[in-house]
Structure 1
Amino acid sequence: MVITGYVLVAIVSLGIIYIGLNYLFAPVKTAAGFGFGEVPENAANFLNVKGGRDVGAGLIPLALMIYGDPHALGWVFLTAALWPVFDMLIVLRHRGKKAVAFGVHGLTAAVMVVAALLLLLG
């Protein structure tokens, strides 16, 4: 169970780092996939901030994986699952694409919860 949890954490963490790098280097193009109907003009600076946050958010679990404490990683990943939940709620609140809200952000949160539980119960 713990190995499966580590694999899921690695996949999600590397994925969010990849997304963060895209927000740093192609912010407007990447933002179009977040779930909103349109991206405001001159949003690149803010989107760069989001990119940096995403890269950091992906590095934290990877650092805990190296540290080697699955229980601590499980708690951190469980709390970090709130990030995609809030992203999902933001998209829904602003009448964005429901398929993206649930299929990307909601699914990511669900995978994170499963990974956290595997680490905490394993």
Structure 2
Amino acid sequence: MTEPSRCPCLSGNTFESCCGPLLQGAPAPTAERLMRSRFTAFSLADAGHLLRTWHPSTRPGSIEFDPELSWRRLVILDRAAGGPFDRVGVVEFEAHWRQGAERGSLHERSRFVRDGREWYYVDGDVE
């Protein structure tokens, strides 16, 4: 029997109880959960989930992944609204990466919108 794997978003939960169901198509209950699943999708190079959860008004035609870039850690810095009964939400995060010997981070305030039961990433301001 194998041990359950820890979720790449570092929520403290297993992948199967955290981002796994969202990557398989389950709706995210909050903007933060969608943000976490999108980080996990970037770390796993899951373009389908990223495109499916990107708002049609800003969605790119495709996503290219750099095989040398590894997303290592996600830190949620702030959140505004984005709950199960909200229509909009903002999640500020820092995503740490590694590319060969280089290390760095991406700091962004992401905007989300809920349409029906689905949360979508709209855009973000990189700081």
Give me the TM-score of the superposition, normalised by structure 1. Answer: 0.30
More strand per residue: 2
More helix per residue: 1
Give me the TM-score of the superposition, normalised by structure 2. Answer: 0.30
